[in-house]
Amino acid sequence: NAGVTQTPKFQVLKTGQSMTLQCAQDMNHNSMYWYRQDPGMGLRLIYYSASEGTTDKGEVPNGYNVSRLNKREFSLRLESAAPSQTSVYFCASSPGSYTDTQYFGPGTRLTVL
């Protein structure tokens, strides 16, 4: 099992460019999440998907869109990147209950110039 995979690992964008971060899990989990990690801020939830076909905003959704393509895949799109979106992005999945452990991918380091 690969667990949670993310692509790409690194990306540099210019302000205004768009890109999609891909995430896939092979654990048959119902819930998937996108977080960003910034120094001194911990992990902040951007969007989550409680189950296939549903998505909801987290704490910091502005400037992002998501798609739960199927049970395995959950993508994060930046339509017009801004320097404030420079961060490390983590995708995670969990079976679904609030007490369930979340399993994280290795992260994508994004720099917006």
Partner 1 sequence: DQQVKQNSPSLSVQEGRISILNCDYTNSMFDYFLWYKKYPAEGPTFLISISSIKDKNEDGRFTVFLNKSAKHLSLHIVPSQPGDSAVYFCAASLKTSYDKVIFGPGTSLSVIP
Give contact residues for partner 1 (rule: CB under 8 A): 4, 31, 33, 35, 40-45, 48, 50, 56, 58, 90, 92, 96-99, 101-107
Per-residue DSSP letter, 6: E
Beta strands 31-38 and 42-49: pairing type?
A: antiparallel
Tell me the closest approach of the beta carbon of residue 65 to partner 1, in angstroms. Answer: 18
Nearer to partner 1, 2 or 14 (CB): 2
Task: Tell me if 60 sits within 8 A of 47, measured CB to CB.
Answer: no
Tell me the closest approach of the beta carbon of residue 83 to partner 1, in angstroms. Answer: 21
Tell me the closest approach of the beta carbon of residue 101 to partner 1, in angstroms. Answer: 4
Nearer to partner 1, 17 or 73 (CB): 73
